[in-house]
Amino acid sequence: MSKDLHPTMDPTKMGIGRSIAVLTSGGDAQGMNAAVRATVRVGLYTGAKVYFVHEGYQGLVDGGDHIRPATWESVSMMLQLGGTVIGSARCKDFRSREGRMKAACNLVKLGITNLCVIGGDGSLTGANQFRTEWSGLLADLVRAGKITAEEAKKSSHLNIVGMVGSIDNDFCGTDMTIGTDSALHRIIEVVDAITTTAQSHQRTFILEVMGRHCGYLALVSALACGADWVFIPEMPPDDGWENHLCRRLTDQRSRGSRLNVIIVAEGAISSDGKPITSDQIKKLVTDRLGFDTRTTILGHVQRGGTPSAFDRILGSRMGVEAVMALLEATPDTPACVVSLSGNQAVRLPLMECVQVTKDVTAAMASGKFDEAIKLRGKSFENNWNTYKLLAHINPPDVKSNINVAVMNIGAPCAGMNAAVRAAVKMGIIQGHSMFAVHDGFDGLAHGQIEPINWTTVSGWTGKGGSVLGTKRTLPGKLLEEISENIAKFNLHALIIIGGFEAYVGGLEMVQAREKYEEMCIPMVVIPATVSNNVPGSDFSIGADTALNTITSVSGETAKITAAVRG
């Protein structure tokens, strides 16, 4: 709930006498139903009347049965459904002033002065234009005799709030849009499925993903599956990329890799603005290298399926904030969009965000690709830099003479191996010698330490559990042996990946520095636990996967429960 809410205001009464309409527009996205459900239930909780607008802006223009009252029960059992149950449609009528006049008339007749729009930047821009023209539309309706002056006075101002529902994550101002995480799930499911067949036959797979002119899905998919190459529109490859790509694929095969994965965004372009297609890449790899190559175009599979736990939570949180934004708005409040920033639901000026989104397209069109990356936001820029480090840089010849050990502590969880892989590759890039510690602090005490290299961690990203092995043992009773092995293997730094045991264990080692000088080395803890209980971090590695497993099992249980009566 909004922090701006007056402490003396009763939240169950702040919506009395107000009416809210909610609609979904543009392409559907998983998690839209969660946003609709939250909007309806929080609106009803505040005492407001809430209406569904079916079929997006077309329903707003057509009116009648397309605008129906929503009840608490009408949004039951929709949280787990993909798409949008109230429908979405592209609407040409709303683009004309006559169409917007019809929409305004329909809202005025029902006393609706608060509109919640869930859609992409085009849908939200249309909503803002509707709000800007509102007083003029009402004046025209009064002159035409469609509404009375009294009705116009009661509905003199229209409040607008937007939530971005798009699998492309192409809207600037929010870290994640509703539907993006679920689309990533579909992509990774496909990558996991094709990996087995690719390894069996030593194949190269080229995977084309959606995203129009935004490369977020392609970039993050490449990070998540450890792809050999990614093509995104924000950063076209340098001239001569064909030679570089072939060299990289050949190097991977010579190191023993049985498969190659190339991710292509559907809007990928070369440095001179020409499209780069999956068929073009396939022909290149087949003709030059003779590799057995297959192309998979995911298409609308990415829009389908049930929403991930993240999208259900994101949609719900945004829906709550959207209702609060509408009820707290004044005639002077600009139209806002509910965004996610640093795990917080925040309100940002709608048109400022739309303008930055347009600036990205303009920067790409004029060849200012570095600027386009920056305009996409810090998260996108960090993902791009991380991918370049992990996938495109070969180990340096010059060594730093620094030895860094990596270990897992506590219960195993999904994502631990990805963290080990990233840490090892990053250390090698810096010129350090990397060591793997098996079986946690027990292994550190008993000398289960060995060098680990670039090739060893290849393919670890998608593996569950802990390849290194992990135990819950704390170092308290093993400090003597641990200090001896730190000296024996000449370790200069320690990366501890694990849950609360890793946190406590790291603390015990720091506190033992006065007695054991060998422990006066840099140590860092990376939170990794399904419990998400490590202090100082909003998210622990593994918690999201655990949530999705719980959500999946709960969904299947709900189906069985609904089918069995009595």
Catalytic positions are 168
CB proximity list for 289: less than 8 A, separation 6 or greater? 246, 249, 250
Contact 375, 358 (CB under 8 A): no
Contact 217, 180 (CB under 8 A): yes
Name the phi and psi angles at 11, rounded to 5.
-65, -20
Q: How far is CA 233 from CA 212, 213, 312, 373, 410, in A?
A: 9, 6, 29, 10, 41
Give the residue among 397, 437, 399 at the shortest CA–CA distance from 523: 437
User: Residue 212 has which token pair?
Assistant: 């129009």
Helix axes 543-563, 309-328, angle to 10 degrees: 90
Helix axes 32-45, 309-328, angle to 10 degrees: 40
CB proximity list for 29: less than 8 A, separation 6 or greater? 84, 165, 166, 167, 177, 178, 179, 180, 182, 183, 303
User: Residue 190 has which token pair?
Assistant: 């496909």
Largest distance between two CA atoms of the chain: 91
Distance, CA of 511 to CA of 500 (rounded, Å):
17
Q: Which amino acid type is present at position 321?
A: E
Distance, CA of 423 to CA of 434 (rounded, Å):
9
Neighbour-count burial of 158, counting CB atoms closer than 10 A to its CB (0-12 exposed, 13-18 middle, 19+ buried): buried
Q: Parallel, antiparallel, or unpaired: how do β-strands 114-119 and 159-164 relate?
A: parallel
Contact 429, 395 (CB under 8 A): yes
Contact 116, 39 (CB under 8 A): yes
Q: For the chain, what's the residue count?
A: 566
Residue carrying the six token digits 């009402």: 138
Give the residue among 464, 460, 29, 465 at the shortest CA–CA distance from 217: 29
Alpha helix ranges (H) inside 166-240: 180-201, 216-225
